[in-house]
Structure 1
Amino acid sequence: MNTSIKQLKVFVAVAQSRSFAEASERVHLSQPAISIALKRLEESVGGALFARTSRQLTLTPEGEAFLPVALRLLSDWNEAFEDLGEQFSKQRGKVAVAALPTLAAGVLPDVFKCFHETYPRINLSLHDVLAEQINQMVREGRADFGLSVDPQQTDDLSFEPIWVDRYVAVFPEGHVFGLQTHIEWAQLGDHPFIGINRLSSSRQDIDRTMASVGVTLDILCDASQIATVGRMVAAGLGISVLPALSFRQIAAAGIDHRPLISPDLPRELGIVVSRRHPLSSAARTLFELIHAGDDDSWQASDTRFH
């Protein structure tokens, strides 16, 4: 069956007006073109939809039954293209982002606010999860893209670096570390340590670095949430190591920090996208907005950590 949308429009126009002349004006076709379109539609469906007499044009029973169906099909057609147009113009749609907690709290609030003010009908979804979960969500299409560390040795994901973060030693105010401008990684072994989630990319960096300097951490306990680590440090239970960007989440009375050196350990962060799932128009716009945020103002705001 080769029924076209043009034939449906012609059928509805003639059925509603019962006049080739009026239908011609509605659909902007000549009367011969309307006659040909109806003929081809009737050939396609296998029977007459109109009963034609010299004085009157009426619907056959089959035509009467088909009219509401044709109206619904045209409505669905129009709605489908309106929806598609709204998605391309960012008037509606949704974007899901998976991000490391440090980036979710430190970068995305301002970006989401700006995006929402410009595209208020786009639904935004944020998943603040660990790096491996980010990779899996992007890989499976459950997140349009991720903000994370480089997912190395993966053929199905690509990574575009945007920020460089570094690690800082975090300690309670009044701690001996406050007398120094920098802290060496090897010094961390002399104090009770509050660890962060063992599955996190940050914890894996910390463990590798401590192994490289030949020092074992005196881990008092591990906490899953950065905010929890901050509160435990503020309470005087121990020190910790966190990405500099995450200090925005825990900065409060009772906590201080210093950059870590020997070795200097830059932490490259950026956008993770799937090579198999192209970004929607809305997701691409948010992607570009985040990328545009890689400016001097962001870097300057974090020079105290570097």
Structure 2
Amino acid sequence: MQINWSVRELDVFLSLSQTLSFRRTAAQVNLSQSAVSGVITRLEEALGVRLFDRTTRSVQLTGAGQVFADQALLMRTQTDEAVRAVRDVAELQVGNVRLAAMPSLAATVVPMACARYRLRFPGVQFQIFDSLSGPAFDLVRAGQVDFALTAANPAYTDLDYTPLAEDGFVLLIPPGHPLAAARGPLRWVDIANLTHISMPLPTSVRQYADAALLQHRVRFAPVYELEHLASITAMVASGLGVAALPELAAAVAPMPGVVRRRIVEPDISRPIGLVTRRFRSLSPAATALVAMLREEMARLAPATARPVASGEARKPIKSRVNP
């Protein structure tokens, strides 16, 4: 038995099963009586059984017609529920978003964007993984997250990388330091011999600082190396040195009195991008969250973290880095 009917045909059948009148059914479904008759004939031919006994004076459901009416009503209810469920997803009434983010974003941009998102779309749930680039790529590849926010471009054929923003570098200066009273940006060459506090290799923070000073033929040699951004900022606040950090990383644990100055010449930026599985589109809920994350990046680091247009050229460090 070949089954080939439309929702429209089921609606015609259900209308006739209730009105038992071709004339009234034609008026309800906005068809001619002959068109209604044609629909019923096609259904009967598809099912191989008569659904209505009809004479010039009456129309009555057969036993098979009554069974089909019960099942057709169930199918229409399920169809309506399916449409409502899809519409709820499309309109962000329900949904689930899972994302991985490097620590500097997981501590700044992500919670602020998610708080706004929860207020606007309370029916959408989300799960956040605080992860370095390598593990984040694995989470995306395994389908455990919808996307990842990283500072590294994955060189894998199964993953796509979309630039979102460029995070420029700033120098954190302790209170009372002579440079704290300076105005305007500072040059990398002028801060090379200061006492630096930085992250160890192979973090992206360290690699970008190394690359910036290498352009001046200066080897970057921080006196202190720490893995946690909050610890670095605390040491700067205590007067133990200065720290060159991406602006979004510098926003992780702000300390009273610590001054920020933009660093230029070279005016390098750490790219921040969206990593997704190739040939997999983001859900409406995930797409809306990405838009809010962009907004928060620009708000938290207005001086240096600017949006990147699709296809725009940037100045990355050509190495695989971990944030």
TM-score normalised to structure 2 length: 0.68
Q: Deviations over 1:134-172 (max 9, x none)?
A: 32333444433322113143333123141224375798x
Aligned to 1:291: 294
Structure 1 contact 185–261 (Cα < 8 Å) conserved = no
Aligned equivalents of 2:303, 2:203: Cα separation in 1: 27
Amino acid at match of 1:284: T
Which of the residues 122, 125, 129 maps onto 1:123? 125
Aligned to 2:62: 60
Alignment partner of 1:276: what SS? Answer: coil
Which of the residues 129, 132, 135 maps onto 1:133? 135
Cα distance change, pair 230–165 in 1 and its aligned pair in 2 (3 A): same
Aligned equivalents of 1:297, 1:229: Cα separation in 2: 19
Q: Deviations over 1:153-209 (max 9, x none)?
A: 3333123141224375798x8999999998989769x89x8967x775446667989
Cα distance change, pair 250–297 in 1 and its aligned pair in 2 (3 A): closer
Aligned equivalents of 1:256, 1:293: Cα separation in 2: 21
Amino acid at match of 1:110: M
Uncovered stretches (5+) of structure 1, i.e. residues with no partner = none
Aligned equivalents of 1:179, 1:35: Cα separation in 2: 88
Aligned equivalents of 2:90, 2:251: Cα separation in 1: 35
Structure 1 contact 138–273 (Cα < 8 Å) conserved = yes
Which of the residues 22, 25, 28 maps onto 1:26? 28
Aligned equivalents of 1:85, 1:120: Cα separation in 2: 16
Q: Deviations over 1:257-291 (max 9, x none)?
A: 88889998642223334431122333333333433
Cα distance change, pair 79–29 in 1 and its aligned pair in 2 (3 A): same
Structure 1 contact 229–240 (Cα < 8 Å) conserved = yes
Aligned equivalents of 1:144, 1:92: Cα separation in 2: 16
Uncovered stretches (5+) of structure 2, i.e. residues with no partner = 306-323
Give the length in aligned residue pairs: 297
Aligned to 1:89: 91
Aligned to 1:278: 281
Which of the residues 2, 5, 17 maps onto 2:4? 2
Which of the residues 150, 167, 172 maps onto 1:164? 167
- The Cα shift of 1:51 comes to 2.9
- Bigger CA drift: 109-118 or 156-165? 109-118
Amino acid at match of 2:251: R
Cα distance change, pair 229–292 in 1 and its aligned pair in 2 (3 A): closer
Aligned equivalents of 1:97, 1:244: Cα separation in 2: 22
Q: Give 1:208-223 correspondences, 5 Å limit.
A: none
Amino acid at match of 2:283: S
Cα distance change, pair 296–230 in 1 and its aligned pair in 2 (3 A): closer
Cα distance change, pair 106–59 in 1 and its aligned pair in 2 (3 A): same
Structure 1 contact 137–143 (Cα < 8 Å) conserved = yes
